[in-house]
Amino acid sequence: MGRGRRRLRVDPADAAGALPEAIAALSRTLPAGPSPETFRRAKFDRPEAASALWQLLFRVLSQLLADSASATPTPEAQAGWVKSVLLSQGYPRRGLAQLAEDGSQGSRELLLALAWLLAQEPLLERLLAQTRIRLGDEMPVCECGALASPGQPAPTVEAGDPVDVRHVQWLMGKLQFRWRNLMASQQEQCALLGKIHSYTRGCHSDRSLGHLSVAETELLRDPEGGRQLLRRLESENARLEAALAWRCRELVFWQWMDTVLDVCPPETSQPTALPRRRKGRAGELELVARELQALQEELRAAVEARRAAWEARVGSREPEWNAAQRAAQEAVGRELAALRQAWERGGGRAQPHGPHRLMAPGFRLSATPGGPALMGPWVQDFGLSPQKQVDGTGQSAGSQLPRVQSRPWLCVPCLSQGWQEGWC
């Protein structure tokens, strides 16, 4: 098998020290990381290690999912939440589901769960990136995050309550008002940012950044706040160093985790009756299905019409058309493949995403190669520029809106008929 110590290229004396070091580095990087001793106890499924691991998993997962609502402190609630999140992410082991939720056992299973999370994705980097201290003034250039994705609807607690349509109207109006407020505040914020940037031009120690940001200016204005920021920066630096140290040493950890798996009793594969899922969550699926079906109908009608017209026109044509036809087919195929890329997972991201640090160039542009993006062309150029992402989506969203609003007109004939019938 060749596992364990025989694989290590260091001698066992070093190996004995390398593992605690690796785990210590891991702990320093994680929020609320437990000591290496806790990890060791967890391998042997000691109950005293359980609560620390439950808490660790809770903190890690709630940070990953950015779910501040689940700040429930009771250990049972924490444990239940952790279990359901791990299950929803596809944790493969049955042992987790069978753990009691009083938080007193299951440390080995939790250790495996933590290792599973670490192995699947760059967990530490993600956690660090989420809590990263932003020193610059940042603005996201896309709306993929915040408001674009509607949240899951809450379980239908109020399913039975009759709701007045006027209440709905009022809420919609309120929403529009809030949006207007938001836009006005955003405009003001941009104006203030512009001023601060222009007033602090030339002060930054880093020559490629031409001016101070709000955070930096604020730390100058308020020394106490500045000291706090400095402390936070230093602790983030410590965590980053720990992450780098972990990276060098993590091989030892994975080899150790193999041994943990070996120690586990094998899981019996008895078939358990799986609970049937609630229907409530299928709501979004149905919405998408309905959209796609409507789209299919429209396309079918359009294609039939055009195909008939084409066949009528083409009729009998010369054979050299075939080459041209094939070329057209290939070109169309390529275009559609590119279109598909736009929504596939793992598709290329032609458009920039995420937050960008704002920089007013002032009187000198930093001529770094592959340098910063210029906003000017974005705002003006409507070609294949990134602005098209924002603007294109705006157009698509804006153009979808009249369609959505005009759809109910299809029902008007039946409405009017109903009126006539009703009145007569």
Partner 1 sequence: MLPAHCSRRCGPLMAELRDALDTCAERQRQLERSLRVSRRLLRAWEPAETPAPEPTPGPKTNEEVLPPACTPCPQDLKELELLTQALEKAVQVRRGISKTGDKASSLKSGSIATHATTASAPPRASERKPPRGIGQTTTPASRLPKPRLLSAGDQTCIRRRPHTAKPGQSLRDQPVAPSAAPQAPEAFRLKEKGTLLQLPMAFRKAASQNSRLWAQLSSTQTSDSVDATVFSKTQFLQKMQMTSGWPSSGLSAAEVEAEVGCLQKASSLLRLRMREELTTDPTDWMQEYRCLLTLEGLQAMVGQCLHRLQELQAVVEQPLKPWPEGRLPRASLPCGGRADPIWGPQLLLYSSTEELQTLAALRLRVGMLDQQIHLEKVLMAELLPLVSTREPLGPPRLALFRAVHSLLCEGGHHFLTILRDEPDD
| Contact set for partner 1, span 313-342 (CB under 8 A) | 313-314, 324-325, 328-329, 331-333, 335-336, 339-340, 342
Dihedrals φ, ψ of 19, to 5°? -65, -50
Which residue lies nearer to partner 1 by CB, 48 or 371?
371
Touching partner 1, residues 224-283 (CB under 8 A): 226-227, 229-230, 233-234, 236-237, 240-241, 243-244, 248, 250-251, 254-255, 257-258, 261, 264, 266-270, 272, 274-278, 281-283
Measuring CA to CA, which residue among 256, 258, 262 is closest to residue 16? 256
Touching partner 1, residues 365-404 (CB under 8 A): 365, 371-376, 378-379, 387, 390-391, 393-394, 396-401, 404
Q: Specify whether the CB–CB gap between 26 and 253 falls below 8 A.
A: yes
> Site for partner 1 (CB under 8 A): which residue of 20, 36, 75, 355?
355
- 3 state SS of 201: strand
Which residue lies nearer to partner 1 by CB, 12 or 423?
423
- Is 185 a binding residue for partner 1 by CB under 8 A? The answer is yes
Computed on alpha carbons and rounded to an integer, the radius of gyration of the chain in Å comes to 30
Which residue lies nearer to partner 1 by CB, 16 or 327?
327
- 3 state SS of 125: helix
> Site for partner 1 (CB under 8 A): which residue of 16, 172, 263, 384?
172
Touching partner 1, residues 99-118 (CB under 8 A): 112, 115-116
Q: Provide the token pair at 49.
A: 């290690």
CA dist 366 → 105, 199, 333, 373 (Å)? 58, 18, 42, 11
Measuring CA to CA, which residue among 254, 252, 247 is closest to residue 17? 252
Which residue lies nearer to partner 1 by CB, 5 or 178?
178
- Is 217 a binding residue for partner 1 by CB under 8 A? The answer is yes
> Site for partner 1 (CB under 8 A): which residue of 122, 131, 263, 364?
122
Given its phi and psi angles, is residue 202 left (phi above 0), alpha (psi -120 to 50 degrees) or beta? left
- Is 178 a binding residue for partner 1 by CB under 8 A? The answer is yes
Q: CA-CA distance, 362 to 212, in Å (whole number)?
A: 12
> Site for partner 1 (CB under 8 A): which residue of 47, 94, 263, 382?
94
> Site for partner 1 (CB under 8 A): which residue of 302, 322, 364, 381?
302
> Site for partner 1 (CB under 8 A): which residue of 69, 71, 312, 367?
69
- The terminus-to-terminus CA distance of the chain in angstroms comes to 88
Name the strand (E) or helix (H) holding 212: none
- 3 state SS of 202: coil
